[in-house]
Chain A
Amino acid sequence: RKEVEQDPGPFNVPEGATVAFNCTYSNSASQSFFWYRQDCRKEPKLLMSVYSSGNEDGRFTAQLNRASQYISLLIRDSKLSDSATYLCVVNPPTGGGNKLTFGTGTQLKVEL
């Protein structure tokens, strides 16, 4: 089983739609969680951290379910500029809390 699993997509959605990505992780002792965004041929950039209570940043909402080892990202009112690959990232207890594990990413395409 992969440490972090994501549906690769692509998710093709119309502008204005709401889209949700899911991610599961295998190590129940993982300590912190993140979503990164990666544009084509660019480096990944931190989108948001994911907290147990859930957190929101504008149109983006992240949720964590530790019991099910499941992380989600919800994007409301999708924009063309949201088109990118979204990487689910987990911080497992190995590596002293400093070595992150990345999913392979979910590709989002927002269309007119």
Chain B
Amino acid sequence: DVKVTQSSRYLVKRTGEKVFLECVQDMDHENMFWYRQDPGLGLRLIYFSYDVKMKEKGDIPEGYSVSREKKERFSLILESASTNQTSMYLCASKTGGVNYGYTFGSGTRLTVV
């Protein structure tokens, strides 16, 4: 089975800190995604990448950046954490082709205080 690993299950950070969320997948998938999930709002796409060094903005990229230096790793960066970025962050990967779904990591619950 594809495994998508997120580096931290729970994180608490202070307002203004730079925060790095790491995601690694082990099945050579081209496509990787970062979502945040909030009650009542569902999953919202922050950024995605369809190849090394390539990135595309999702629906809510403001306040975030990403890095994909290697195919297996996709990092989400909160440049200056704010309390409204408190959320569950989910990384996903997907192989190419329309008939395939995502595999998600177990999520990082980030609290910004």
The answer to whether A104 touches B41, judged by C-beta atoms less than 8 angstroms apart, is yes
Distance of A39 Cα from B53 Cα, bound (Å):
33
Interface class of chain A by DSSP: mixed
Is B43 positioned at the interface, with any CB of A under 8 Å from its CB? Answer: yes
Q: Which A residues are in CB contact (< 8 Å) with B42?
A: 87, 102-105
Across the two chains, which residue of chain B brings its CB closest to A85? B42
The answer to whether A36 touches B101, judged by C-beta atoms less than 8 angstroms apart, is yes
Interface size class of A (residues with CB under 8 A): 20 to 34
The answer to whether B98 touches A32, judged by C-beta atoms less than 8 angstroms apart, is yes
Kindly identify which residue among A43, A100, A103, A104 contacts B101, using a CB–CB cutoff of 8 Å.
A100
Is A66 positioned at the interface, with any CB of B under 8 Å from its CB? Answer: no
Q: Which A residues are in CB contact (< 8 Å) with B31?
A: 98
Q: Which A residues are in CB contact (< 8 Å) with B40?
A: 104
Number of A-B contacts (CB under 8 A): 52
Interface class of chain B by DSSP: loop
Q: Which A residues are in CB contact (< 8 Å) with B63?
A: none
The answer to whether B104 touches A43, judged by C-beta atoms less than 8 angstroms apart, is yes
Q: Which A residues are in CB contact (< 8 Å) with B106?
A: 42-43
Is B74 positioned at the interface, with any CB of A under 8 Å from its CB? Answer: no
Across the two chains, which residue of chain A brings its CB closest to B45? A99
Distance of A71 Cα from B33 Cα, bound (Å):
24
Task: Add 8 more A-B contacts to A45-B104, A46-B102, A98-B98 (CB < 8 A).
Answer: A32-B98, A42-B106, A43-B90, A43-B106, A95-B48, A98-B48, A98-B94, A99-B48
Q: Which are the 7 A-B pairs with shortest beta-carbon distances? A: A104-B42, A43-B104, A97-B98, A31-B98, A102-B43, A98-B31, A46-B101
